[in-house]
Copies of this chain bind each other. A is one copy, B any other.
Amino acid sequence: MARQARAVETRRLILQGAAVVFDEMGYDAASIKEILSRVPVTKGALYFHFPSKEDLARGVLEEQTLHPNFLPQTSKLQEVVDLAMTVAHALPNDAMLRAGSRLALERGSVDFAAHSPFLAWAKVCEELLEEAKRDGEVLPHVDCRETAELIVGSFTGIQAFSQVSSGLLDLEQRVSAMWRHILPAVAVPSALTRMDTGPDRGARLSQAAAG
C-alpha cells in the first residue's frame, strides 16, 4: 500500500474504534487508552492523526454524516425519506452513527455544538427538499430549512424514544410513522401518493445497494 493510502486506512481504523468506545461509554467516560485497546495501531499513530480526545470526537462527528449511502431516485422527496429510512435501518449495527448521535445528545464536559451533526444533517436534508420543491413535489408555502430542521430534530428524539422502548428494534416502524405524519404537510398530493414510507424501505434499499 502506498504511504498515503495506509494513512487513510489507519485514520479510518482509529475513528471506527473511537466510535465504538464513544457509543458504549459516552464522551466523558471514554479514554484514549480504551480506544487504543480496541484498534491495532500504535499510540504514536493515534496521536499523529488525533492529538486529543476532543479531536477524536470531532472526527467521529464529521465522519458520520458522510457515512450513509442511498440510491439516487427520480423523486428528490423520496430521497429525503430514503435518507432517514437508510439511517434508521443502519443505526442498530453502525457504531459511527450511534456514537455521533450520542455525542450530539449528551451535554458532556466539552461542547460539540459547533460540530453538531444536527446542522450537517439538516443541510443535506434542506438541499434535497429545495430540489424537490423546484421539481414541484413540495407545497409552495413550505420553508425547506424549517422542515429540514424539524425532520432532523424529530428523527433524533424518535431514536432516543426507540432506544428506551425497544433498544432500537422499533426504530424503522417509528420513523415510518414520522413520515406518515409529516409528509401531508410537505408534499403536493400527487407526490404524496407516490412516496414509499414503509418501515421496510431501509432494508429494501440496503439489499438493492448490495445486490
Which residues of chain B have C-beta atoms less than 8 A from A150's C-beta?
154, 158, 174, 177-178, 181
The reply to whether A181 and B105 form a contact with Cβ atoms under 8 Å apart is no
CB contact list, A102-117 vs B, under 8 A: 102, 104-109, 113, 116
A28 to B107, CA, bound (A): 12
CB contact list, A159-211 vs B, under 8 A: 159-165, 174, 177-178, 180-186
Interface size grouping (class) on chain A: 35 or more
Which residues of chain B have C-beta atoms less than 8 A from A156's C-beta?
157, 160-161
Please report whether the interface of chain A is mostly helix, strand, loop or mixed according to DSSP.
helix
A77 contacts B by Cβ under 8 Å: no
Known pairs A152-B161, A153-B154; list 12 more (Cβ under 8 Å). Answer: A26-B107, A104-B164, A116-B164, A149-B161, A150-B174, A153-B158, A153-B160, A154-B158, A156-B160, A156-B161, A181-B186, A184-B185
Q: List 8 A-B contacts (CB under 8 A).
A: A105-B160, A106-B107, A118-B164, A119-B165, A149-B161, A150-B154, A181-B186, A184-B185
Closest 4 CB pairs of A and B: A157-B157, A153-B161, A156-B157, A154-B154
A147 contacts B by Cβ under 8 Å: yes
* Residue in B102, B118, B157, B185 whose beta carbon sits within 8 Å of that of A180 in the complex: B185
